Protein backbone atom coordinates (compact mmCIF):
# COMPACT_ATOMS: atom_id res chain seq x y z
CA UNK A 1 0.00 0.00 0.00
CA UNK A 2 1.25 3.50 -0.83
CA UNK A 3 -0.80 6.18 0.90
CA UNK A 4 1.94 8.77 0.35
CA UNK A 5 3.79 9.67 -2.84
CA UNK A 6 7.53 8.94 -2.80
CA UNK A 7 8.41 12.64 -3.00
CA UNK A 8 6.77 13.07 0.41
CA UNK A 9 8.77 10.13 1.79
CA UNK A 10 12.00 12.02 1.12
CA UNK A 11 10.57 15.25 2.46
CA UNK A 12 9.44 13.62 5.72
CA UNK A 13 12.94 12.56 6.77
CA UNK A 14 13.51 15.78 8.73
CA UNK A 15 10.06 16.24 10.27
CA UNK A 16 10.42 12.73 11.72
CA UNK A 17 13.22 13.97 14.00
CA UNK A 18 10.94 14.26 17.09
CA UNK A 19 10.01 10.58 16.68
CA UNK A 20 13.71 9.68 16.58
CA UNK A 21 14.17 11.57 19.85
CA UNK A 22 11.32 9.61 21.43
CA UNK A 23 12.88 6.32 20.25
CA UNK A 24 16.28 7.41 21.59
CA UNK A 25 14.64 8.17 24.95
CA UNK A 26 12.98 4.73 24.89
CA UNK A 27 9.49 6.24 24.85
CA UNK A 28 8.76 4.45 21.59
CA UNK A 29 10.08 1.35 19.90
CA UNK A 30 11.61 1.81 16.48
CA UNK A 31 9.93 -1.35 15.18
CA UNK A 32 6.50 0.01 16.10
CA UNK A 33 7.16 3.38 14.50
CA UNK A 34 8.56 1.73 11.38
CA UNK A 35 5.49 -0.49 11.16
CA UNK A 36 3.21 2.56 10.94
CA UNK A 37 5.54 4.41 8.54
CA UNK A 38 5.81 1.39 6.22
CA UNK A 39 2.02 1.31 6.09
CA UNK A 40 2.09 4.87 4.68
CA UNK A 41 4.77 3.96 2.10
CA UNK A 42 7.08 0.90 1.88
CA UNK A 43 10.14 3.17 1.66
CA UNK A 44 9.29 5.28 4.72
CA UNK A 45 11.35 4.39 7.81
CA UNK A 46 12.75 6.23 10.80
CA UNK A 47 16.41 5.40 10.21
CA UNK A 48 16.77 2.58 7.70
CA UNK A 49 17.57 3.34 4.07
CA UNK A 50 15.05 2.23 1.48
CA UNK A 51 15.24 3.20 -2.17
CA UNK A 52 12.95 3.13 -5.16
CA UNK A 53 14.22 1.73 -8.46
CA UNK A 54 14.17 4.56 -10.99
CA UNK A 55 16.10 3.03 -13.87
CA UNK A 56 17.92 -0.05 -15.16
CA UNK A 57 20.53 -0.19 -17.89
CA UNK A 58 22.88 -2.95 -19.00
CA UNK A 59 26.44 -1.64 -19.01
CA UNK A 60 28.09 -4.96 -19.92
CA UNK A 61 26.86 -8.38 -20.90
CA UNK A 62 26.85 -9.41 -17.26
CA UNK A 63 26.46 -6.09 -15.45
CA UNK A 64 23.43 -3.92 -14.76
CA UNK A 65 23.48 -0.31 -13.54
CA UNK A 66 20.57 0.35 -11.19
CA UNK A 67 19.45 3.92 -10.70
CA UNK A 68 17.85 4.32 -7.29
CA UNK A 69 16.37 7.14 -5.28
CA UNK A 70 16.82 6.81 -1.54
CA UNK A 71 14.45 7.89 1.19
CA UNK A 72 15.93 10.66 3.31
CA UNK A 73 18.09 8.39 5.49
CA UNK A 74 21.22 8.08 3.31
CA UNK A 75 23.69 10.56 4.75
CA UNK A 76 27.22 11.38 3.66
CA UNK A 77 27.44 8.75 0.95
CA UNK A 78 30.29 9.02 -1.53
CA UNK A 79 30.79 7.50 -4.94
CA UNK A 80 33.33 4.67 -4.65
CA UNK A 81 31.88 3.41 -1.36
CA UNK A 82 29.78 0.26 -1.19
CA UNK A 83 26.39 -0.54 0.31
CA UNK A 84 24.58 -3.70 1.26
CA UNK A 85 21.48 -4.58 -0.73
CA UNK A 86 18.97 -6.61 1.29
CA UNK A 87 16.40 -8.89 -0.27
CA UNK A 88 14.17 -11.56 1.24
CA UNK A 89 13.87 -14.67 -0.90
CA UNK A 90 11.65 -17.55 0.18
CA UNK A 91 11.51 -16.09 3.67
CA UNK A 92 15.29 -15.84 4.06
CA UNK A 93 16.93 -12.44 4.21
CA UNK A 94 19.97 -12.18 1.92
CA UNK A 95 22.38 -9.33 1.38
CA UNK A 96 25.30 -8.50 -0.86
CA UNK A 97 27.62 -5.55 -1.15
CA UNK A 98 27.69 -3.40 -4.31
CA UNK A 99 29.65 -0.28 -5.18
CA UNK A 100 28.17 3.17 -5.61
CA UNK A 101 29.09 4.32 -9.10
CA UNK A 102 27.28 7.62 -8.65
CA UNK A 103 25.93 9.65 -5.73
CA UNK A 104 23.87 12.77 -6.44
CA UNK A 105 22.84 15.35 -3.83
CA UNK A 106 19.13 14.85 -4.52
CA UNK A 107 19.09 11.26 -3.25
CA UNK A 108 19.80 9.56 -6.57
CA UNK A 109 22.46 6.87 -6.50
CA UNK A 110 23.66 4.29 -8.99
CA UNK A 111 24.82 0.78 -8.17
CA UNK A 112 26.43 -1.59 -10.65
CA UNK A 113 25.57 -5.24 -10.14
CA UNK A 114 27.42 -8.05 -11.83
CA UNK A 115 25.78 -11.40 -12.41
CA UNK A 116 27.35 -14.13 -10.31
CA UNK A 117 26.93 -17.61 -11.76
CA UNK A 118 24.51 -19.33 -9.40
CA UNK A 119 24.20 -16.17 -7.28
CA UNK A 120 20.60 -16.07 -6.08
CA UNK A 121 20.58 -12.45 -5.07
CA UNK A 122 22.37 -11.01 -8.10
CA UNK A 123 20.20 -13.05 -10.47
CA UNK A 124 17.06 -11.88 -8.69
CA UNK A 125 18.15 -8.24 -8.89
CA UNK A 126 19.18 -8.49 -12.52
CA UNK A 127 16.22 -10.46 -13.81
CA UNK A 128 13.28 -9.53 -11.62
CA UNK A 129 13.75 -6.10 -10.03
CA UNK A 130 11.52 -3.60 -11.82
CA UNK A 131 11.24 0.15 -11.99
CA UNK A 132 9.10 1.33 -9.08
CA UNK A 133 10.15 -1.54 -6.78
CA UNK A 134 11.49 -0.62 -3.35
CA UNK A 135 14.58 -2.29 -1.85
CA UNK A 136 16.46 -1.86 1.40
CA UNK A 137 20.09 -0.71 1.48
CA UNK A 138 22.61 -0.58 4.29
CA UNK A 139 24.62 2.54 5.07
CA UNK A 140 27.56 3.24 2.77
CA UNK A 141 31.03 2.11 3.81
CA UNK A 142 34.48 2.17 2.29
CA UNK A 143 37.62 4.28 2.39
CA UNK A 144 38.76 4.58 -1.22
CA UNK A 145 39.33 8.23 -2.01
CA UNK A 146 40.57 10.20 -4.96
CA UNK A 147 44.22 11.22 -4.32
CA UNK A 148 43.76 14.97 -4.63
CA UNK A 149 47.46 15.84 -4.58
CA UNK A 150 48.57 13.22 -7.12
CA UNK A 151 50.39 14.36 -10.24
CA UNK A 152 49.07 11.35 -12.11
CA UNK A 153 46.62 8.59 -11.16
CA UNK A 154 46.51 4.96 -12.24
CA UNK A 155 43.23 3.09 -11.75
CA UNK A 156 43.70 -0.69 -11.83
CA UNK A 157 40.53 -2.73 -11.93
CA UNK A 158 39.66 -6.35 -12.48
CA UNK A 159 36.10 -7.50 -13.16
CA UNK A 160 33.54 -5.62 -11.09
CA UNK A 161 36.42 -3.83 -9.35
CA UNK A 162 35.90 -1.16 -11.98
CA UNK A 163 32.69 0.01 -10.30
CA UNK A 164 34.05 1.92 -7.28
CA UNK A 165 36.86 3.32 -9.44
CA UNK A 166 34.37 4.56 -12.02
CA UNK A 167 32.47 6.33 -9.25
CA UNK A 168 35.62 8.12 -8.13
CA UNK A 169 36.68 8.84 -11.72
CA UNK A 170 33.35 10.44 -12.67
CA UNK A 171 33.50 12.74 -9.68
CA UNK A 172 37.15 13.67 -10.18
CA UNK A 173 36.59 14.60 -13.83
CA UNK A 174 33.45 16.56 -12.98
CA UNK A 175 35.48 18.52 -10.39
CA UNK A 176 37.97 19.48 -13.09
CA UNK A 177 40.91 17.29 -12.13
CA UNK A 178 43.49 17.74 -14.91
CA UNK A 179 46.23 15.33 -13.79
CA UNK A 180 46.84 12.45 -16.22
CA UNK A 181 44.60 9.47 -15.42
CA UNK A 182 44.93 5.96 -16.80
CA UNK A 183 42.27 3.33 -16.21
CA UNK A 184 43.33 -0.27 -16.88
CA UNK A 185 40.42 -2.68 -16.68
CA UNK A 186 41.06 -6.44 -16.76
CA UNK A 187 38.19 -8.65 -17.92
CA UNK A 188 37.99 -12.16 -19.27
CA UNK A 189 36.12 -11.36 -22.48
CA UNK A 190 35.07 -8.40 -24.63
CA UNK A 191 31.47 -8.48 -23.43
CA UNK A 192 32.55 -7.99 -19.81
CA UNK A 193 34.05 -4.56 -20.47
CA UNK A 194 31.72 -2.31 -18.47
CA UNK A 195 30.53 1.24 -19.21
CA UNK A 196 32.44 1.16 -22.54
CA UNK A 197 30.37 3.82 -24.33
CA UNK A 198 30.57 6.22 -21.42
CA UNK A 199 34.28 5.70 -20.90
CA UNK A 200 34.97 6.30 -24.58
CA UNK A 201 32.96 9.52 -24.42
CA UNK A 202 34.85 10.60 -21.34
CA UNK A 203 38.13 10.03 -23.19
CA UNK A 204 36.87 12.30 -25.95
CA UNK A 205 35.90 15.04 -23.53
CA UNK A 206 38.86 14.79 -21.16
CA UNK A 207 42.22 14.53 -22.95
CA UNK A 208 43.92 13.71 -19.63
CA UNK A 209 42.06 10.36 -19.46
CA UNK A 210 43.23 7.13 -21.08
CA UNK A 211 41.18 3.94 -20.74
CA UNK A 212 42.53 0.54 -21.73
CA UNK A 213 41.02 -2.87 -21.46
CA UNK A 214 43.04 -6.04 -21.03
CA UNK A 215 41.49 -9.38 -21.93
CA UNK A 216 42.59 -12.28 -19.79
CA UNK A 217 40.49 -15.10 -21.21
CA UNK A 218 39.95 -14.34 -24.91
CA UNK A 219 41.49 -16.24 -27.79
CA UNK A 220 45.27 -16.40 -27.80
CA UNK A 221 45.49 -13.79 -30.56
CA UNK A 222 43.53 -11.21 -28.52
CA UNK A 223 44.64 -12.15 -25.05
CA UNK A 224 46.63 -9.53 -23.07
CA UNK A 225 47.15 -11.75 -20.07
CA UNK A 226 46.98 -10.95 -16.40
CA UNK A 227 48.40 -7.82 -14.80
CA UNK A 228 52.16 -7.79 -15.31
CA UNK A 229 55.04 -5.36 -15.05
CA UNK A 230 55.09 -4.65 -18.78
CA UNK A 231 51.48 -3.40 -18.60
CA UNK A 232 52.61 -0.68 -16.21
CA UNK A 233 55.64 0.51 -18.17
CA UNK A 234 55.62 4.14 -19.27
CA UNK A 235 52.54 5.17 -17.26
CA UNK A 236 52.50 8.71 -15.93
CA UNK A 237 51.25 8.29 -12.39
CA UNK A 238 52.50 8.62 -8.85
CA UNK A 239 49.41 7.20 -7.15
CA UNK A 240 47.43 4.07 -7.94
CA UNK A 241 44.08 2.70 -6.83
CA UNK A 242 43.53 -1.03 -7.31
CA UNK A 243 40.27 -2.88 -6.92
CA UNK A 244 39.39 -6.46 -7.77
CA UNK A 245 39.82 -10.00 -6.53
CA UNK A 246 42.35 -10.51 -3.75
CA UNK A 247 44.94 -12.11 -6.06
CA UNK A 248 44.75 -9.17 -8.47
CA UNK A 249 45.13 -6.60 -5.70
CA UNK A 250 48.04 -8.53 -4.23
CA UNK A 251 49.74 -8.54 -7.64
CA UNK A 252 49.13 -4.79 -8.06
CA UNK A 253 50.67 -4.19 -4.64
CA UNK A 254 53.76 -6.17 -5.61
CA UNK A 255 54.18 -4.48 -8.99
CA UNK A 256 53.31 -0.85 -8.31
CA UNK A 257 56.21 1.03 -6.72
CA UNK A 258 54.34 4.22 -5.75
CA UNK A 259 51.51 5.09 -3.38
CA UNK A 260 48.60 2.71 -3.65
CA UNK A 261 45.10 2.41 -2.20
CA UNK A 262 43.37 -0.88 -2.68
CA UNK A 263 40.20 -2.79 -2.03
CA UNK A 264 39.89 -6.53 -2.54
CA UNK A 265 36.52 -8.16 -2.68
CA UNK A 266 37.04 -11.85 -3.31
CA UNK A 267 36.12 -14.19 -0.53
CA UNK A 268 39.13 -15.87 1.02
CA UNK A 269 40.11 -19.08 -0.70
CA UNK A 270 38.15 -21.93 0.74
CA UNK A 271 40.06 -25.02 1.43
CA UNK A 272 38.54 -28.44 1.34
CA UNK A 273 41.20 -29.60 3.71
CA UNK A 274 39.94 -30.12 7.23
CA UNK A 275 42.16 -28.35 9.69
CA UNK A 276 42.87 -29.50 13.18
CA UNK A 277 39.91 -30.02 15.45
CA UNK A 278 38.99 -27.10 17.74
CA UNK A 279 36.29 -26.35 20.27
CA UNK A 280 33.95 -23.48 19.39
CA UNK A 281 31.90 -21.73 22.05
CA UNK A 282 29.17 -19.25 21.15
CA UNK A 283 28.62 -17.36 24.38
CA UNK A 284 25.34 -15.52 23.81
CA UNK A 285 23.68 -18.52 22.20
CA UNK A 286 25.05 -20.80 24.96
CA UNK A 287 26.14 -23.31 22.36
CA UNK A 288 29.28 -25.32 21.78
CA UNK A 289 30.41 -27.15 18.67
CA UNK A 290 33.33 -29.15 17.44
CA UNK A 291 34.96 -27.15 14.65
CA UNK A 292 38.04 -27.13 12.50
CA UNK A 293 40.81 -24.61 12.03
CA UNK A 294 40.46 -24.42 8.23
CA UNK A 295 37.08 -22.81 7.66
CA UNK A 296 35.65 -19.42 8.58
CA UNK A 297 33.83 -18.95 11.86
CA UNK A 298 30.82 -17.72 9.88
CA UNK A 299 30.50 -21.03 8.01
CA UNK A 300 31.05 -23.04 11.16
CA UNK A 301 28.54 -21.02 13.19
CA UNK A 302 25.99 -21.58 10.41
CA UNK A 303 26.80 -25.29 10.40
CA UNK A 304 26.07 -25.25 14.12
CA UNK A 305 22.59 -23.90 13.40
CA UNK A 306 23.25 -20.24 14.25
CA UNK A 307 22.33 -17.42 11.90
CA UNK A 308 24.95 -14.69 12.40
CA UNK A 309 24.30 -11.37 10.69
CA UNK A 310 26.36 -11.14 7.55
CA UNK A 311 26.50 -9.39 4.22
CA UNK A 312 29.31 -9.67 1.70
CA UNK A 313 31.02 -12.77 3.15
CA UNK A 314 34.22 -11.19 1.82
CA UNK A 315 35.56 -9.18 4.74
CA UNK A 316 34.35 -5.85 3.39
CA UNK A 317 31.02 -4.83 4.86
CA UNK A 318 31.76 -5.52 8.55
CA UNK A 319 28.21 -6.71 9.19
CA UNK A 320 29.47 -10.03 10.58
CA UNK A 321 31.71 -8.31 13.14
CA UNK A 322 31.66 -10.06 16.49
CA UNK A 323 33.75 -9.90 19.67
CA UNK A 324 36.45 -12.47 20.38
CA UNK A 325 36.18 -13.48 24.04
CA UNK A 326 38.94 -16.09 24.39
CA UNK A 327 41.27 -18.02 22.11
CA UNK A 328 43.05 -17.19 18.87
CA UNK A 329 41.69 -16.62 15.38
CA UNK A 330 43.51 -16.48 12.07
CA UNK A 331 42.74 -13.97 9.29
CA UNK A 332 42.08 -16.19 6.26
CA UNK A 333 43.32 -13.48 3.90
CA UNK A 334 46.83 -13.14 5.22
CA UNK A 335 47.32 -15.59 8.07
CA UNK A 336 47.61 -12.91 10.78
CA UNK A 337 46.75 -14.18 14.27
CA UNK A 338 44.58 -12.31 16.80
CA UNK A 339 44.10 -13.35 20.38
CA UNK A 340 43.31 -10.22 22.36
CA UNK A 341 40.08 -10.69 24.36
CA UNK A 342 37.50 -8.06 23.40
CA UNK A 343 38.90 -7.69 19.91
CA UNK A 344 36.32 -7.23 17.12
CA UNK A 345 36.70 -9.90 14.43
CA UNK A 346 34.93 -10.48 11.11
CA UNK A 347 33.51 -13.96 11.20
CA UNK A 348 33.58 -14.46 7.43
CA UNK A 349 37.35 -14.06 7.16
CA UNK A 350 38.40 -15.45 10.54
CA UNK A 351 39.12 -19.11 11.25
CA UNK A 352 39.71 -20.50 14.72
CA UNK A 353 43.42 -21.11 15.22
CA UNK A 354 42.73 -22.97 18.46
CA UNK A 355 39.73 -23.30 20.79
CA UNK A 356 37.78 -20.04 20.75
CA UNK A 357 34.85 -18.38 22.43
CA UNK A 358 33.05 -15.60 20.63
CA UNK A 359 30.21 -13.29 21.65
CA UNK A 360 27.61 -14.77 19.34
S1 LIG B 1 29.95 -10.55 5.94
FE2 LIG B 1 30.80 -8.68 5.22
S3 LIG B 1 32.62 -8.52 6.42
FE4 LIG B 1 31.84 -10.46 6.94
Q: What are the structural domains, with CATH classification, of the chain?
A: 6-137 (2.40.30.10), 153-264 (3.40.50.80), 277-358 (3.10.20.30)
> Is the CB–ligand 1 distance for residue 320 below 6 Å?
yes
How buried is 82 (Cβ within 10 angstroms: 0-12 exposed, 13-18 middle, 19+ buried)? buried
- What string of pLDDT tens digits covers the 360 residues of the chain? 678 888 899 889 889 999 999 988 889 888 889 999 999 999 999 999 999 999 999 999 999 999 999 999 999 999 999 998 988 887 777 778 899 999 998 899 999 999 988 788 889 999 999 999 999 998 898 889 999 999 999 999 999 999 999 999 999 999 999 999 999 999 999 999 999 999 999 999 999 999 999 999 867 777 788 899 999 998 889 999 999 998 899 999 999 988 999 998 755 444 444 578 999 999 999 899 999 998 999 999 988 988 888 877 888 778 889 999 988 899 888 778 888 888 889 999 999 998 999 999
Ligand 1 geometric centre to CA of 348 (Å): 6
Q: Which atom of ligand 1 is nearest to the CA of 298?
A: 4
Q: Which atom of ligand 1 is nearest to the CA of 312?
A: 2
Ligand 1 geometric centre to CA of 248 (Å): 20
Residue ranges of alpha helices (H) inside 114-176 are: 120-128, 162-174
Residue ranges of alpha helices (H) inside 184-242 are: 196-205, 229-232
Ligand 1 geometric centre to CA of 69 (Å): 25
pTM: 0.77
- Helix 162-174, helix 196-205: angle, nearest 10: 30
Integer angstrom CA distances of residue 38 from 18, 135, 322:
18, 12, 30
Ligand 1 geometric centre to CA of 150 (Å): 32
Amino acid sequence: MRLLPFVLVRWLARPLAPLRALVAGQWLRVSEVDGVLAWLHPALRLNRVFARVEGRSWVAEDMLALRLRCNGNAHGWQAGQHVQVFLTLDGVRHSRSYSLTRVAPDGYVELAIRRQPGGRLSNQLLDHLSIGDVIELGQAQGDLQWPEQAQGVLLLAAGSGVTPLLGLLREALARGITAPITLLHYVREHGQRAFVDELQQLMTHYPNLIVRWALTGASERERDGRLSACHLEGLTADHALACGPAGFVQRATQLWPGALQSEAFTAPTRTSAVGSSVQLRFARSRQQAQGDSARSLLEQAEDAGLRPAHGCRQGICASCTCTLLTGTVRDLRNGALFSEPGQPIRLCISAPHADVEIDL
